Structure 1
Amino acid sequence: MQRTASIMIWGFVLLAAVFITACSSPPPPPPAPRVERFEREYPVNEEFEIYPDRVVQGEKTATVISSEKIESTYGTRKRTWLLQEDISSLPQFSSPEAPIYEALYNMALEESLQDIRSDGSFMAGKKWNGVWTRDISYAIQLSLAYVLPENSLTSLMAKVNEYGEIIQDTGTGGSWPISTDRIVWAIAAWELYLATGDAQWLDDAREILQRSIQRDTLNALDRETGLLFGETSFLDWREQTYPEWMEPKDIYESKAMSTNLLHARALEILSYMYDEAGDSPMSMEYFRMAERQYRLIADAFRLENGLYSLYLYPPIQGSRPVDKTGTLSNSLAAILAAEQDSPAAVLGGEISLSTEIPVVHFGIPTIEPQQPGIPPYHNKGIWPFVEAYYGIAGVREGNLAAFSHSLEAMTRSAALFLSHMENMVYDNGHYSGTEINSERQLWSVAGYLGMVYRGLFGINVQRDGVTFAPMLPENLGGGPVTLSGFTLRGMELNMTVRGTGSRIASMQIDGEPADPRNILQWRQGPVQIDIVLEQSGDSGSINLIASDIEAPKDPLIQDTGSNFSYRSLQSDARSFLWNGRERSPMGEAGPGRQGRGDIWSVLSTREGENRTLHSNLSRWTYDPDSVLRTPAGDEAVEIVPDPEQILEFSTDVEEDGRFYIVFEYANGSGPINTNNKTAIRTLFADEQRQGAIILPQRGERKWDDFGLSSGLFMNLEQGSHTFQLRYLPENRNMDGEVNRALIRSMLLIPVN
């Protein structure tokens, strides 16, 4: 059935009280912390020391009794960790001069076994029994591909749906394609192939990956910039990372550094997969695509300090990078840029990213600066798996100081907590005080193992074999440290590393001198690697900052008829008005009346700092006759996932111009913070495909709550035009069945 509506646009009045945010209410305030913060017993920045057999923080201690037992006085009573699982079949690590590292490694092996479900896949942690795409993928890439390859394969296939695509976890606005970091699956799939050399897995993973990338491209690619829309990877608790005024559709229209980086890496991995299969033309095609994406990322996200921005604001606000950084994305950029012959080399620069990523006394926070007034979790939180990526970035960049800071932080927390916990508060280092926390968090467990394999032993697995660049901080007492039974493709690595530092003084393979610059090519059976380290002239550096740096509070625009004013919400913040890409000082009264095509947003900047946040957008006032209504008039039309249903709008445009097209809609299929029932449609203009329109969930059963969809920019010539919303096969969401919304109108907004 074809549904049509035709309305003439007679002209737009002054922009002043619009509806980019008018049709929706702000998100609910963040919940209060669920647990008490113990500021007296756990003071901010309390000093701690890592000794060979214990951790001391004030009056709190963790003492290693043996490699299988640790006692801790952290918390309300003395507690003990005692190894219960049989870990003898897994790679064995020994550090006799610093037994604390050996004990925590054994704890990590045990917790990795405890995180295996009855179906053989990995759960996300003690409190998280489900199999989560991003959790298992980061964990497998960090280390579990080497430790538990069969469970890694089972877990990866558990996150492939009946259509042979990667499953995006539930989340913001009904998740995919608001969140598109399901593509992190690619780095885990590739790591598993590197570890096993399984040709059948390579073929299966390549097909799954290619299908998933194609659908992500159709539903989340910004055709004007070449970058992907969508939420940050892992940082998926809206107000923890994004401004309070941002709704799910705003988050979709933003562009995340981490997610774009993962997509570029997925293209690169596809190139290598095709090359392994002997298909050179396809390999070269994907390599060029990856090369282009890395260049776009480097150009769009890099800030003046050399780090990369956490995300870009939506296109309607000029796609400006937020003055906020993420540790995960910058660490991944550093690691990828160091890969030999990788197109990601463009992400490197004159600085070492690991020297600039902000760190605090107790570790490495996930973002910087912190969100004001938001309880700790991602915000004001430290996550060990992110610390692991930072530490590995230090290894890849030759920054011993960064690796040491990360290893010490992860060792302190695991020893005192007696578990590789999910997170901790960034200023007092306590596991209590974040919104939620779990013991034996899978990626925290994998992160500690990864710090041993990739850091202390410097193992870097590549397509043709293995290279080594170990680092031994002074706390390891000069070694020796040993690793045995580390198996890759039938090659069993047995390693001994001695000394302190990061420069290899000598290296032997099976008793014969070896050049550490050469790759150890694949072979079968046991191989003995002996390495002696020495101090280099430069051990690197870290960017240690105070743990009280917050961003300015988000300014808010207040519309008053044909004028608007704003609140800067923070006494030490100056605000400027931003129109397009220009900034100009503004008083509290605002700019007064606005002209046709003006889109205003306030910038809030902390005094003395180059740190800026956007407000919500100004609203537009419009002529009611300018809104394109559905065939039902003032009533909304329900759209369902039916290829035969076409919702059509027709209009006349009085003059050539650039327009922003959005839809007024309701979606009551679920809450704004979870589920998987985002409604998705494709917009056609004059029979030409324009792109996806995303209609996120707005609240459980809230079918009377109307807001605005994602939008698309379009250049239109004077004359008649027809627009259609269609459901195409690629618009299938993660639910697969419920993909519905109510459409009340289409808005055709002229912009300069």
Structure 2
Amino acid sequence: MLTTLLAASMAAATAAPAAPAWHDGLDWHGVHVSIQQDAAGAYTLAWPFGQRVIAPQTFAADTASPLFDGLYAMAQDDLKQDSVTAIRDGAFDHGQPIPCHCFETGLKWPYVWTRDLSYSTDLGLWRFDADRARNGLKFKLSDVRVPTAPQGLYVMQDTGSGGSWPISTDRVVWFLGAQHLLGDKAFAADVYKALGDTLAQDRLYAFDPHMGLYHGETSFMDWREQSYPAWTFDEVTFIGQSFALSTNVLHYQALQMAATLARQHGDARTAGRFADQAKALKAAINARFWRADRGMYMSFIGGDGTPNDTYDLLGIALAVTSGVADPARAVQTLANYPTWPAGSPVMWPERRDQPIYHNRAIWPFVSAYAMRAARDVDQPARIAHEIESIMRGASLYGSNLENYELLTQGQHVDEGKLSGPVVNSPRQLWSVAAYMAAVTEGVFGLEPDGKLVPKLPTSLVPMLFGDRDSISLALPGRHITLILPKMRDGNLLVADRITTKGDATTVQLKAITVKDAPLRTDAPLFAPEAPPAPALAADGKTWKVQAHGKVRLYVNGHRAETIDGSGTLPRSGDLTCVSATRVGDDGLESLHSPAVCGDEGQPVDGSWPRHWTAPASGNFRVSLNYSNDHGPINTGITAAVKMLAIRCDGATEQRVPIVMPHSVREQRSTWGEFSARAGAACTFTLEDGFNMSYLSHFAHYTGGVGGSDGPLNAADVKGMVIAPLGASTDKGTPR
């Protein structure tokens, strides 16, 4: 089946009509879609398995393509269907309706989720119904229901891997949406309060001062074994210890926003602190995530900085649009990210052993962010490619679906246990927002700040203009007309002259030629599968390493030698953690095996507080052996979050956050670092931390413990493990 799909995909690259032919329909992989508009302005979209009649909408696109215009009407109709007065989810209030004048997430997701709504709002839905967008965002704010915990107003991390935050930490995406809705003074006050409280909490529990980064899962790609090593299906501590590009860029944007709002509030000291944190985070992202041999930012790295040969389009697009990437890297990282005829995958390379969902899939909202990034770096081929992909998907299935299979843009491909997309919801909110963005930003050039900056690829002119010399768009409170220039030599149309009268803006376009980056179409599809963990055996001053075949070794975050079956590594007496990857014939590297560690020190047993004497001066890693059976691996709100207070003779108290996510067996917690002098007597006290069950909102959670039955932040701690790290913890830039 896969060979057939690959052949069909490659044939489509030459046989399928390009976007300029899309006037009254399109053809794709033997499927013909047609569209007609009647005298009353209604559209009928038809395909072999059905049709959809779309009534005239409030806001209209007027181009030479009824398909483009009709899909704009369909997106508005989808948005109306997503506009509700109540939401529901089986895990909240026993599935009963919850009043909310807001947007639901989609037909199959009739609830409000933090990341979905926030990305949708940022892509432009705030223009079409600001009240619903604002109400939905307010629904995701909460105060605290535990009197002894720090009080504040916090953004909620949705239920998720290992019991939610801080295994997943992308809740700060909320501010990406909220920034567009600050005209409401009461809401703006809530935003400012929540921004300060949420960032402070993340700084305390998710920030790693040694790496200069925030821990946590990749934003939106939260089905562990799809994008992380397969062995994380029942072991999520690795994810909580790791660092994700997308989540760190979101924190950078939140810090920048906090600095801006603090200045507006006249608090220069706080503004300076947030600005300094943002600057340092930007530097750390560029030092840690950039992979020079690929010319791209990695999707995630290990907790010790171990590089991973994996990339995701959302993280890269956000790095470009946020300004984290400098101009040269912005051009390079987007140009090097691969595409296929149907569109751009949300992650690359793909996994052979996983079904289609995030793996081997196109997600329209991510395509919209890639389009936005391509506009920032003047890459017209990528702009057109993402617009075409968003249009094609909406056309083929008569709705703005959640996602599509990469090679065929199918809504479902039958491959046995690998079939998918596993879930695919019609009128998915962020897919609706993606089509809106393709129209407002991609074609008409309306940027999020309200400026008009058309960057229209000339390849789309035949579709959009046909024999006409102008096209127009009606938006809430704004009407935009683009006028085609007589001379169109070039690859990009930009503004020559802009005239505004009342709410009507006319843009005279001109053609220019930019140095475009060709779409990358030569990338291999799959990475090799990760090998099993190597075995370590101490042999005097060396480690004997036994591996499964030819593998590349990584030691304490750095690339070491390649061995074939067996080899040796130097032994220093300090903690040594070794993982392995396979390298394919095409040069792609697999994800990592589980790490095995030697010279881990001895467990420190007993009741709290626990006592230990430092055997030598230096730095140490501390973690806990524990079990947490308070929820399944893939969801819940009861990751146990604690603070380990360390008091050593003659030294200032050191505090290390410890996270113990849901587990299916006794395992190791996340780890932290501390320092001690030889002979110092150290006392360790485990103090209460904070998890999502402490938020008042989760009193409505009925899908597991920690909700309506009361907050729960606990794990069964079996022991403490301290391992020597040597004199320095400077990990440097991963190789």
Superposed counterparts of 1:342-357, under 5 Å: 344=324, 346=326, 349=329, 351-357=331-337
State the match for 1:586 in structure 2. Answer: 563
The answer to whether the 8 A contact 1:665-1:707 is kept is yes
- Deviation string 1:350-392 (CA, Å, 9 cap, x unpaired) is 7354322221111010111112311111011110100011111
Any residues of structure 2 matched to 1:39-78 within 5 Å, and which? Answer: 43-47=8-12, 48-49=16-17, 50=19, 51-66=22-37, 68-73=42-47, 77-78=48-49
Q: Distance in 1 between matches of 2:640 and 2:674?
A: 22
Distance 2:524 2:325 in 1: 34
Residue number in structure 1 paired with 2:174: 185
SS in 2 for 1:402: helix
Match of 2:164 in 1: 175
> 1:622: Cα distance to partner?
6.8
CA 1:358/1:82 → structure 2, altered by over 3 Å: closer, same or farther? same
The one of 659, 663, 669 equivalent to 1:698 is 663
**Shift in Å at residue 595 of structure 1?**
5.6
How far the C-alpha of 1:610 sits from its partner, in A, is: 5.7
The answer to whether the 8 A contact 2:346-2:366 is kept is yes
- Whether 1:648 and 2:619 are equivalent positions in the alignment is no
The answer to whether 1:107 aligns with 2:74 is yes
TM-score by length of 1: 0.82
Q: Does residue 234 in structure 1 map to residue 220 in structure 2?
A: yes
Instruction: Pick closer, same or farther for the CA change 1:42–1:139 going to 2, 3 Å.
Output: farther
Q: CA RMSD in A?
A: 2.6
CA drift at 1:145? 0.9
Larger relative helix fraction: 2
Q: Give 1:393 deviation, angstroms.
A: 1.1
Q: Is this contact kept in 2: 1:334–1:348, CA < 8 A?
A: no
Q: 2:521 maps to which residue?
A: 545
- Counterpart in the other structure of 1:275: 263
1:3-22 deviation digits (Å, cap 9, x = unpaired): xxxxxxxxxxxxxxxxxxxx
Tell me which amino acid in the other structure corresponds to 2:366.
V
In the alignment, is the contact (CA less than 8 A) between 2:492 and 2:514 conserved in 1?
A: no
Give the C-alpha shift of residue 400 in structure 1.
1.3
Q: 2:563 corresponds to which letter in structure 1?
A: M
3-state SS in 1 of match to 2:620: strand
Aligned to 1:18: none
- 1:117 is displaced (CA, Å) by 2.4
Q: Indicate the residue corresponding to 2:500 in structure 1.
A: 510
TM superposition shift of 1:166: 0.5
1:262 aligns with one of 250, 263, 273: 250
2:715 matched residue in structure 1: 741
Matching residue of 1:16? none
Q: Is the 8 A contact 1:679 1:733 kept in 2?
A: no
Query: CA separation of 1:379/1:41 partners in 2, compared to 1, >3 Å: closer, same or farther?
Result: closer
**Relative to structure 1, is the Cα distance of residues 486 and 276 closer, same or farther in structure 2, using a 3 angstrom cutoff?**
farther
* SS of match in other structure, 2:220: coil
Moved more, 595-604 or 365-374: 595-604
Matches within 5 A, 1:533-612: 533-538=509-514, 540-546=516-522, 548-559=524-535, 564-568=545-549, 574-576=551-553, 578=555, 581-591=558-568, 596-597=573-574, 598-609=576-587, 611=589
Q: How many residues end up aligned between the 2 structures?
A: 652
Q: Give the AA of the match of 2:52.
A: W
1:728 CA displacement: 4.0
Q: After superposition, what is the alpha-carbon deviation per residue over 1:287-343, rounded to whole angstroms, capped at 9, x for unaligned?
A: 23222211221121111133211011122xxx0231111100111122222xxxxxx
Please say if 1:311 is aligned against 2:271.
no
Q: Residue 62 of structure 2 aligns to which amino acid in structure 1?
A: S
1:510 deviation in Å? 3.3
Confirm or deny: 8 A CA contact 1:497 1:531 kept in the other structure: yes
Say if 1:578 and 1:603 are closer, same or farther in 2 by CA, change over 3 A.
farther
Q: Deviations over 1:541-583 (max 9, x none)?
A: 3433257521121121254876652225xxxx64345455351
Which has the larger displacement, 61-70 or 325-334? 61-70
Question: Contact (CA 8 Å) 2:640, 2:691: kept in 1 or not?
Answer: no
The residue that corresponds to 1:613 in the other structure is 591
- Asked if 1:431 corresponds to 2:418, the answer is no
Partner of 2:729: none
Compute the displacement of 1:731 (Å): 8.8
Unaligned runs of 5+ in 2: 86-99, 145-152, 413-419, 539-543, 699-705, 727-735
**Runs ≥4 in structure 1, deviation > 6 angstroms?**
none
Please, which of 385, 388, 398 is the counterpart of residue 408 of structure 1? 388
- 2:308 aligns to what? 322
Aligned to 1:468: 453
* Runs (5+) with no aligned partner, structure 1: 1-35, 338-343, 512-525, 632-646, 700-704
Shift of 1:268: 0.7
Q: 1:535 is paired with a residue of what secondary structure?
A: strand
CA contact (8 A) 1:662 1:712 kept: yes
Cα displacement (A) at 1:587: 2.9
Q: Would the alpha carbon gap of residues 508 and 580 (structure 1) be closer, same or farther in structure 2, given more than 3 Å must change?
A: closer
What is the identity, as a one-letter code, of the residue corresponding to 2:638?
A: K
Q: Which whole-Å deviations, capped at 9, do the CAs of 1:598-644 have from their partners, x for residues lacking one?
A: 32222322235263532211244778xx321133xxxxxxxxxxxxx
| Contact 1:459/1:470, CA 8 A, preserved across alignment | no
Name the amino acid aligned to 1:614.
H
Mean Cα deviation higher: 180-189 or 277-286: 277-286
- Give the corresponding residue for 2:129: 148
SS at structure 1 position matched to 2:447: strand
Matched position secondary structure for 2:560: strand
Structure-2 change in CA distance of 1:174 and 1:606 (3 Å): same
8 Å Cα contact 2:6-2:407 kept in structure 1: no
Give the CA deviation at 1:252. Answer: 0.6
Q: Conserved in 2, the CA contact under 8 Å of 1:218 and 1:730? A: no
Pairing 1:289–2:265 present? no
User: Does the residue aligned with 2:583 lie in a helix, a strand or coil?
Assistant: strand
